[in-house]
């Protein structure tokens, strides 16, 4: 079954951070939780939601029988060790410059971070967009410039635009290391996992802008699970939790769009067509999940001359950090404080695992906002 809009308070943008609206929603959730009369767990699968929930202190304001679990919504966190190993190996080549968003620089590989490799003399530049990397390539025609293409559906159109501009301008030394991922396949894996003890999903607003909310209908149609696309203000998230509780009480399973001021059913068709011009689905590895068919994007054959993964480099055997349970956090099997390294040897200033690096990582969000005020809720 499907639905849009949803009952409850209005979605007028003026109320999304209004304390009165938030208080009313918390009262509504409390009442719904008592009516449900048992425990319920929901998963947010967007790193921005993870950060927003922690920053607003929403987790500790929920009833004791309502639990919110973080999932694989941080693109930096789910990027596998092998990708970082290859990026460092490419940066070690004398004619290659690797360009990356800043948060990727502190993610550990099998041997070092990109930040450490940069300190050792590797040519690694921090950029703020794929186009910055393209401009660097234009200014340095004697170097092969490799952009680390990491992110979900929201970042791929800008990468496709940079590739199109490179072709138009004839900038032949601009390449990408494909690492983009798409959200529906890992959510299929989560929904079909008998060990996952969640009964509904807060669905990613940013991704849904591109894909449209109908892309998540499989949750209800194939798995009998509920889902709510929500925005990022406290009231947005709370409206989603209330909706999921209401569906449990009424024993229905629907995918509901509660972010209709931004998201529609079909998404940004122009952007998707543009992405399809350059990319096709492929099987890729997700940290914590392993290889998931159709969950990644690779360059189509006609654009493989832009593919830095075809450059021959020597790679080490991938080694995950000892004791790190980032993969279990990403699958919703544990909460960050249950990792033995959390807030001890692993902190944002000295991250052992990827989940502690990005601000969208669950471990980083818990460390900054929740470690002193809430323990693990089983």
Residue 362 in this model has a pLDDT that exceeds 60: yes
Checking if the pLDDT of 5 tops 90, the result is no
DSSP helix/strand/coil, 214: helix
Q: Give me the mean pLDDT over the 159-167 stretch.
A: 98
Choose which CATH entry (3.30.450.20, 3.30.70.600, 2.60.40.4070, 3.40.50.11750) describes domain 2-70+213-257: 3.40.50.11750
Among 299, 288, 62, which Cα is nearest to 163's?
Answer: 299
Q: How far is the C-alpha of 115 from the C-alpha of 113, rounded, in Å? A: 5
| Confidence band of 8 (pLDDT split at 50, 70, 90) | very low
Residue 142 vs residues 87, 95, 165, 173, 177: alpha-carbon distances, Å: 19, 7, 19, 8, 19
| Beta strands across the sheet bearing 2-4 | 2-4, 255-257, 226-229, 200-203, 40-44, 66-70
Mean pLDDT in residue range 325-348: 94
Domain range summary for the chain, segments of one domain joined by + = 2-70+213-257, 78-182+269-310, 326-369
Query: How far is it, in rounded angstroms, from Cα 319 to Cα 324?
Result: 11
Residue 161's pLDDT band, with cuts at 50, 70 and 90, is very high
Structural Rg of the chain based on CA atoms? 21
Q: Which CATH superfamily groups domain 78-182+269-310?
A: HypD, alpha/beta domain 2 (3.40.50.11740)
Query: What pLDDT, in 10s, does the model give residues 61-120?
Result: 999 999 999 999 999 999 999 999 999 999 999 999 999 999 999 999 998 999 999 999
Distance CA 217, CA 210 (A): 15
Give CA–CA dist 257/231, Å, rounded. Answer: 10
> Alpha-carbon distance 366 to 358, whole Å?
12
d(CA 301, CA 291): 22
Q: How many residues does the chain have?
A: 378
Distance CA 18, CA 39 (A): 28
Q: Give the pLDDT of residue 17.
A: 67
Q: What CA dihedral angle connects 25, 29, 31 and 33, to 10 degrees?
A: 180
Across residues 226-241, what is the average pLDDT?
A: 96
Gap between the Cα atoms of 155 and 50, Å rounded: 18
Could you give the percent of the chain with pLDDT greater than 90?
86
The order of strands in the sheet holding 144-151 is 124-126, 96-100, 144-151, 174-180
pLDDT above 60 (res 318): yes
Rounded to an integer, what distance in angstroms lies between the CA atom of residue 367 and that of residue 374?
11
Lowest mean pLDDT among 28-37, 47-56, 87-96: 47-56
At residue 18 the predicted structure's pLDDT band, cuts being 50, 70 and 90, is confident
Query: Pairing state of beta strands 290-299 and 279-286?
Result: antiparallel
Could you give the percent of the chain with pLDDT greater than 70?
Answer: 94
Model confidence at 359, pLDDT cuts 50, 70, 90, reads: confident
* Position 370 confidence tier, pLDDT thresholds 50, 70, 90: confident
Sequence-ordered alpha helix ranges (H) in 65-181: 75-78, 81-91, 114-119, 130-139, 156-169
133 pLDDT band (50/70/90 cuts)?
very high
Strands 174-180 and 144-151, bridge-based pairing = parallel
pLDDT surpassing 80 at residue 16: no
User: How many Cβ atoms are within 10 Å of 192's Cβ, its own excluded?
Assistant: 11
Positive or negative CA dihedral for 112, 115, 117, 120? negative
Please state which of the ranges 16-30, 57-71, 346-360, 362-376 shows the lowest mean pLDDT: 362-376
What is the pLDDT confidence band of residue 6, given thresholds at 50, 70 and 90?
very low
Residues 378, 197 contacting (CB under 8 angstroms): no
């Amino acid at each position: 079954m499907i639905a849009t809009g949803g009952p409850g308070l209005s979605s007028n943008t003026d109320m999304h951070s209004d304390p009165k609206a938030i208080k009313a929603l918390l009262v509504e959730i409390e009442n719904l939780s008592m009516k449900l009369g048992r425990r319920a767990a929901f998963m947010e699968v967007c790193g921005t939601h993870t950060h927003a929930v922690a920053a607003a202190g929403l987790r500790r304001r929920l009833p004791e029988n309502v639990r919110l679990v973080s999932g694989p919504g941080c693109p930096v966190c789910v990027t596998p060790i092998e990708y970082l190993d290859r990026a460092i190996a490419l940066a070690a080549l004398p004619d290659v410059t690797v360009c990356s968003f800043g948060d990727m620089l502190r993610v550990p590989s099998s041997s070092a971070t990109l930040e450490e490799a940069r300190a050792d003399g590797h040519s690694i530049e921090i950029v703020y967009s794929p186009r910055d990397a393209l401009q660097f390539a234009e200014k340095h025609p004697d170097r092969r410039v490799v952009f680390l293409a990491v992110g979900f559906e929201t970042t791929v159109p800008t990468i496709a635009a940079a590739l199109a501009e490179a072709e138009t301008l004839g900038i032949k030394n601009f390449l990408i290391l494909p690492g983009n991922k798409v959200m529906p396949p890992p959510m299929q894996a989560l929904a079909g996992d008998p060990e996952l003890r969640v009964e509904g999903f807060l669905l990613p607003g940013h991704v849904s802008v591109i894909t449209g909310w109908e892309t998540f209908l499989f949750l209800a149609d194939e798995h009998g699970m509920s889902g709510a696309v929500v925005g990022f203000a406290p009231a947005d998230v709370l409206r989603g939790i209330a909706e999921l509780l209401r569906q449990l009480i009424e024993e229905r399973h629907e995918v509901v769009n509660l972010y209709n001021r931004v998201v529609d059913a079909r998404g940004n068709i122009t952007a998707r067509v543009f992405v399809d011009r350059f990319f096709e689905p492929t099987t890729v590895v997700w940290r914590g999940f392993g290889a998931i068919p159709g969950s990644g994007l690779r360059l189509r054959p006609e654009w493989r001359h832009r593919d830095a993964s075809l450059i021959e480099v020597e790679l080490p055997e991938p080694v995950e950090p000892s004791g790190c349970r980032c993969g279990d956090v990403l699958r919703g099997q544990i909460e960050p404080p249950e990792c033995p390294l959390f807030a001890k040897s692993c902190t944002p200033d000295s991250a052992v695992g990827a989940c502690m690096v990005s601000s969208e990582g669950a471990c980083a969000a818990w460390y900054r906002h929740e470690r002193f005020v809430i323990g693990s809720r089983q």
